[in-house]
Chains A and B, each alone.
Chain A
Amino acid sequence: METRSKKLESISQGLYDQKAQAALNAQPIRKTVLISELKIADMNTIEWNGNFVKMSEHAFNQFCKIIGVPVTFQRKVGDLFDQTKSVNFLNNMRKAVAQANSGQTITLVVNRAEKKIVGVLKEDRQLISSKGFLDTVGQVVDKGRLIVNDFAVNDKTGEIIINTTNPNGLFDIKGVKDEAHIGGVSFSNSMKDGFLVTPYTNRLVCTNGMIVKGFEDDDINMTNIDQDSMNNFWNKLKGLMKNGFKPSQFDERASKAIHSPASLDEMSKATHSIMKSLGKDFEVKDIQSWVPLQETLNKFHAAGIDTNAFNSAQMKNAKTGTSVWDIIQSVTHFASHDNGFNVDDYQRMQLQMFAGQLFAKKVYDMENLVSSPFNNYKLR
């Protein structure tokens, strides 16, 4: 399959402006209301000020969680009672919460196009506006002399992801030859994580980008918009800049990933993350040249092992012939190049994030495998 290498360069100002405008257009509406002002009308509608507003299932679940009804319990209530009684129960819970704390507020996040609530945020969590996000990213890019490599917007949720690199942030992996990387940061703004800054690395040999999310020391998260949170955000960012944007545990994890075989579970998840970005017209064999899942399964089957019968623990214990590092590079390569699949920018960056999460995984499934004189020993 033909692949066109995407050079590590800044996106054009025109494209940046176009994406920024798309981000501003997709910015959801935030409305802070008192819990006591709301009333559940049915399982996907709330009443506010005499108006009925539709909610997504996700938003409804978030609201129920805030009033002390977790999703599982809410489902049980739904199974036991008819809708009227369920709604009645939820409204009584809402009333109890509102009475216990009369000033308690929540923020409704509304998709402008659908005129629908797509998220509900607790009082202590705020979503920064797309404008505020873009302004701040602009400042960091200027101060850190970064270049913007990627910019993606999710039109439905308003989520934004921007990947940047520091042209002077070249680093290698200790003890490993031919592994040069460039450090940078990835910025994202979403209802789930708020304003999140994570290290971003780009492997120079094939310009594979990876969003390294999950190293506790490096992730900078701002879910509140106040002076203290912002100070904390900037101070942590300065620390990351000082380190040349290199993730703090990069060498150690890279070395482990290079020397750990991937489990069948890790390989399957990588395959599925790519498949998810492709749509229904493609099959696992189409991405064989990136992640060799099909070939691996064939080998298991040829050895008389039925992988279909594996439970999740067995999937994690099934060793493959590919290292975790190669799996990560396969995903990042797929995510960073135009492979003819027409994957949109947002999905590509989700893949880079998946790869980063796999990289930052605390323990790879096969990481602690040791040699043993009993490897071929058969139990009675």
Chain B
Amino acid sequence: MSTPTEPSYRQRIAYQSMLLGGFATFAAVFLVSGNLATRDAIAERQKEDMLASLNQVVPATLYRNDLLDNPLRMLHSNGQTLTIYRGFDQSQVSALAWEVVGNGYAGEIRLIMGVDPDGKILGVRVIAHAETPGLGDKIEPQKDDWILGFNGLWLGNPPTQRWKVNKDGGQFDAFSGATITPRAVVAAIHDGLEFFKANRSHLLAMPQDAVSEPVPSNTSTVGVKP
């Protein structure tokens, strides 16, 4: 381009298309090799992320296996596939964690919740949300300890009619100016507990039994959205 006199073959369509095609080929080669070089490291990092967020809701002292190893997949009644990570201790299930999704003010609120075999909440954390900063983001533990208030609760405590924000007659605080966000979180957690109650025997069965169960065909193991 910097030379004023261009050779005539460059004006041909064939040269132009070869040029574009050639660059596209090189681009593909570079991207494939870049992907090969980083794929394992990225998978490793994502696994660490997943484990870190799981350990926030399931203390590492409660189990002795690799939480991410061989998670259970189940179909929720609302049509979503849930991935349930289970911790074992002394050949029984000692803790479970899975992702629940609430419909917040600005889209999905993805939460991870951990429960013990009795259905008591070990912890709940927000993984991702798009709520208004300063109002709805009090569901993050860095901003407010509201989310820690779920620790130790179960389906009967508080009773079902009190599993709501206080504006709806329940026992959970609704932040001023952002009722939709806590309402969504409370509903999602309650739904998660209901799911546990409905599928308790299957969830607490040891993997030997679980293998014989039909498993939905979702094959990826890490970071799956339910």
A binds B: no
